[in-house]
Amino acid sequence: MTSRTHIFGAGLLLVLGLVLGLWLGSGSESPLEDSPEQDAHVHNDHNGTAEANGNGTTWTCSMHPAVRSDEPGSCPICGMDLIPAAELEDSGDEVTMVMTEAAMALANVQTTPVRVEAPTREVQLPGRVAVDERGITTVTAHFEGRIRDLYVDFTGAPIRAGEAMATIYSPELISTQRELLQALKHEERSPSAVESARRKLQLWELSNEEIQRIEASGEVQERVNLTSPVSGIVLDRNVSREAYVQEGSVLFEVADLSTVWVIFEAYEEDLEWLREGQSLEFTMRSNPGNNREATITYIDPVVNPNTRTARVRAEVSNPGGRLKPEMLVHGTVSAADDDAKHLVPASAVLWTGPRSILYVRVPDADTPRFEAREVTLGHRAGDQYVIEDGVEEGEEVVTHGAFRIDAEMQLADRLAMMNKEPGSGAVPVHDHGNGNDHDEHAEPDDHAEHEFARPSDLTDETPEAFRAQLTAIYETYQQVHAALVASDESVAREALSTLDDELAAFDAADAPSEVRDAWAHDRHEMRTHLEHLDHLDGLEHIRHEFNTLSKVLAYSIEQFGVEGPVYRQFCPMAFDGDGAYWLSREEEITNPYLPEDMLRCGDVIEQLHE
């Protein structure tokens, strides 16, 4: 029994020894030793990429490439999910980059061939019905007198030509009638006196019937009718009963509304698509299903400096008077260019200031290779751009994922939208306070979430006209803020639409190039986020984009300045504890993210402008 026990124990030890040897030979770590994963330090290099992060993957934001993280999560600026950074390979030059197929799939890079055809565009024109100015007639007093009877006593009254509008008592008119009656008694001896008196009454616009009535009765008419010279609608009434009027006083304005004008407002970038004689369709807001046709008869040669629009006029017949002055209408012009041009989708174009860049896929490359190419940008044709120079028909341009490629090119110090001098070593990453290098040994800071990278101070170089436009944008932003506090989605969207129009019409032509380039990036980023909202419904999506908009606008205000105070405010409870920012004219907190439950939740982080 004892020998069996010894044999069994020796066999068991042998088996355990073999298992332990196989385990050690496989490279597994001893449970008594510290794990290399636990001791690995995660830190950033000069571009913010992780050198050791467990699996070696760097995560970034497709909209804000300066954000670099060693683990997945959300972008601290816009809240979008972080995605793996593209696997950048050395392409051997400063204008191209190579992506692996896996990186292309992660970035969802899509391309579209360049097409050559005549550009077409539907131009949308807001407008209103107006009175045809050529059909306006004023009724004036041709002699002094006092208004006795008033037959047309309200604005808007219909009137026909020859119809009495009022009666007037005039001592001068009575005297002329007496001259006529006296001349008639001696007409055989002095017929010219009769004609002279008649002529005087005719010049005072008494009708021949009234003059004949005076002659036939042989009596002076103390009250004489003032008649309308035209048929139409009384637009304005400037007299009342017993009012004394002077010669030349305007008594009424009468408009013929059988033909009306429809006046549209066309943005300056749309004017090249419009010409006189072009047909258009328009619909009334009061009857949106009833389309009407008209022809453009006039385009204003001067652009309004405040709205950056020019008036486009069409003439329309108006039987029955259904089109009423000041009615709102919406017009559409289907325009086409006469010549074929190179066309690319609008999403393919990255532009800043005077520079425009496309990313073109290099044909016949073993692995996907993309070239940054500066092009000459023409006008926009709907959802496409005309490229005047820089591409050829059939070339594949990146239409989705261009920002990702541009971000990697920028971080690699190659030709990119914001890097026109590749290889200089100075990569101008436009970081809104979240892409700074950090030291893993630094002490934690309770206020770190409120620290922002300061932009370049360009206030001294910024023209007053530029600053005034930015102030107007900030005022419209405040309208969005008020609508979110009221939880009114329709008003918020209307204000955001106005904000996008103001950004589109922003004129920075007189600003120095440094100011223009910095502003071009900010404007592009703000308009990109506003464009996202066109495809999203609900206040929650608006609030998410408002948070991002607040950060970018704050950056612009710090760079260029605005008129009046600006307070940056922060609520740590917004978006389930992620926190959110906004800007305010007042120090008092009115939370646009949690207005129903926590209207006063938040703090003033700093005052950006006094």
Span of 39-48, 60-69, 301-310, 553-562 with lowest mean pLDDT: 39-48
- Give the tens place of pLDDT for each residue, 463-487: 999 999 999 999 999 999 999 999 9
Burial 249-263 (b: 16+ CB within 10 A, else e): bebbbbbbbeebbbb
**pTM (2 d.p.):** 0.48
**If we measure between CA atoms, which residue out of 435, 376, 428 comes closest to residue 406?**
428
pLDDT tier for residue 92 given thresholds of 50, 70 and 90: low
pLDDT tier for residue 456 given thresholds of 50, 70 and 90: low
Alpha helices in 81-190 (DSSP H): 101-107, 171-185
| Alpha carbon distance 387, 190 (integer Å) | 85
CA dihedral 569, 573, 578, 582 (to 10 degrees): -20
CB 147 within 8 A of CB 239: yes
**Percentage of the chain lying above the pLDDT 70 cut:** 78
On the 0-12 / 13-18 / 19+ scale of CB atoms within 10 A, 381 is buried
Residue 158: how many CB atoms within 10 A of its CB? 13
Residue 310: how many CB atoms within 10 A of its CB? 19
| pLDDT attached to residue 555 | 84
| pLDDT attached to residue 425 | 53
**If we measure between CA atoms, which residue out of 438, 441, 473 comes closest to residue 453?**
438
Span of 70-74, 304-308, 390-394, 417-421 with lowest mean pLDDT: 417-421
Name the amino acid, one letter, at 58. Answer: T
DSSP characters for 383-437?
TEEEEEES--TT-EEEEESHHHHHHHHHHTTSSBTTBSSTTSS------SSS---
Span of 222-231, 303-312, 453-462 with lowest mean pLDDT: 453-462
Q: Which CATH architecture has domain 133-255?
A: Beta Barrel (2.40)
- Give the tens place of pLDDT for each residue, 169-192: 888 888 888 888 888 887 777 788
- Kindly state the tokens that stand for 285: 């807001």
- Give the tens place of pLDDT for each residue, 25-68: 444 333 333 333 333 333 333 333 333 344 567 777 655 555 67
219 vs 61, residue with greater confidence: 219
Average pLDDT of 79-88? 61
With H, G, I as helix, E, B as strand and everything else as coil, classify residue 222.
coil
| pLDDT attached to residue 438 | 36
Average pLDDT of 3-13? 44
Average pLDDT, the chain: 78
- 442 pLDDT higher than 80: no
| pLDDT attached to residue 281 | 92
43 vs 226, residue with greater confidence: 226
Average pLDDT of 398-417? 77
Average pLDDT of 222-240? 87
Location of structure tokens 């050690």: 24
| 115: Cβ contacts below 8 Å, ≥ 6 apart | 342, 343, 344, 393
- 610 membership: H or E segment, kind and range: none
- Kindly state the tokens that stand for 401: 């994922």
The CATH class given to the 121-131+258-336 domain equals mainly beta
- Kindly state the tokens that stand for 187: 């007409």
Does domain 92-111+340-372+380-411 fall into CATH 2.60.120? no
CB 201 within 8 A of CB 183: no
- 14 pLDDT higher than 50: no
| pLDDT attached to residue 77 | 57
| pLDDT attached to residue 473 | 94
Domain limits, the chain: 92-111+340-372+380-411, 121-131+258-336, 133-255, 452-609
CB 386 within 8 A of CB 343: yes
| pLDDT attached to residue 74 | 78
Span of 100-109, 141-150, 218-227, 229-238 with lowest mean pLDDT: 100-109
With H, G, I as helix, E, B as strand and everything else as coil, classify residue 348.
helix
- 515 pLDDT higher than 80: yes
| pLDDT attached to residue 79 | 60
